[in-house]
Amino acid sequence: MSTIATESSTTQYPPVEISLADELSIQTRGLNLWYGDFQALMDVSVNIKKGIITGLIGPSGCGKTTLLRCFNRINERYGNVRTTGDIEILDKNIYDSDVSVRQLRRSVGMVFQRPNPLPISIFDNVLFGMGLHDAHKSLSRSERADVVEMALREVDLWNTVKDRLKARATTLTLEQQQKLCIARLLPLKPDIILMDEPCSALDAEGIEKVENLIESLRDEYTVVIVTHNMAQARRATDECIFMLLGEIIEHSKTSEMFLNPQHEKTEMYIQGRYG
């Protein structure tokens, strides 16, 4: 199994059942988070399995993005954030003093709501993450070209851009830019890919293409995706975690949650009665 290189009381519903055969990528135990005096996460305990697509759903402000950003400690960029509890990524508590945040973010990549390609070439965008981690210094020019081709093929962009790799990435369509942002993660060989509403800026055709890409990442990567789109959650995820007011209300297989929710609050949200 991969490893990460080192350097108040609330109602909590039980997490999804885990069998002995299940391998976990992410575990949280009693996780609380405050922005200043405001508590955004309340005693969150959850198990996220390896090699599946897990959706975080719930109304705006319920804590979905906050929880997602805990998994690579990106919340700590804000000076007023305080956390208690544990998060284990690949069997390592990411709050341990010997954990390198830089290395954690290499193992746990993130894709944001709006595509954020750098205003440099498509080729250099793909290699940018490797450069941040000094991962391409030992590669020859031809080896770098192979890395770029492999990443672009994996996100189904190679045939579209292979003849204009020196073009600025910002000239691509939004859907292509989002695919490129995913391709930028892959040379670092992450174990987990976090996605914060990755289709929110796309049209219907772009959404379909990016969802197909997300589907193709299953098995090789653990994918955790925040979405407000219930149809997308139903189509694109294996399991869903429903959050409300900073708490986990229900965590189950997606098919079970949508067909037979166990909690009234889950049913109300899925049916669009609030949020």
Evaluate whether residue 11 is within a structural domain: no
What's the pLDDT band for 218 if we cut at 50, 70, 90?
confident
Average pLDDT of the chain? Answer: 89
pLDDT reading at 34 higher than 80: yes
What's the pLDDT band for 211 if we cut at 50, 70, 90?
very high
Tally of domains within the chain: 1
Evaluate whether residue 41 is within a structural domain: yes
What are 149-162's pLDDT values in tens digits?
A: 999 999 999 999 99
What's the pLDDT band for 246 if we cut at 50, 70, 90?
very high
* C-beta atoms surrounding 140 within 10 Å: 9
The pLDDT, as a whole number, for residue 268 is 94
Evaluate whether residue 18 is within a structural domain: no
Phi then psi for residue 269, to 5 deg, are: -70, -45
Evaluate whether residue 73 is within a structural domain: yes
Task: Tell me the two tokens of residue 105.
Answer: 């973010």
Over residues 189-200, mean pLDDT: 94
Evaluate whether residue 83 is within a structural domain: yes
Helix extents (H) in 138-203: 141-154, 158-161, 174-185
The pLDDT, as a whole number, for residue 181 is 96
pLDDT reading at 140 higher than 90: no
The pLDDT, as a whole number, for residue 14 is 46
For 111, residues 6+ apart whose C-beta sits below 8 A from its C-beta are 178, 181, 182, 185, 193, 194, 195, 196, 198
Evaluate whether residue 61 is within a structural domain: yes
The pLDDT, as a whole number, for residue 13 is 45
Helix extents (H) in 5-121: 64-70, 101-107
The pLDDT, as a whole number, for residue 19 is 47
What are 58-104's pLDDT values in tens digits?
A: 999 999 999 999 999 999 888 899 999 999 998 899 999 999 998 89
Strand order in the sheet with 38-49: 38-49, 24-35, 81-89, 92-93
Q: What is the CATH number of the domain that holds 264?
A: 3.40.50.300
Distance of CA 61 to the CA centre of its chain: 18
Give residue 108's identity as a one-letter amino acid code.
V
pLDDT reading at 259 higher than 80: yes
Over residues 205-215, mean pLDDT: 93
Task: Rounding to the nearest 10 degrees, give the CA dihedral for residues 90, 92, 94, 96.
Answer: -170
Q: Give me the domain span that covers residue 84.
A: 24-115+190-270
Evaluate whether residue 174 is within a structural domain: no
pLDDT reading at 110 higher than 50: yes
Evaluate whether residue 205 is within a structural domain: yes
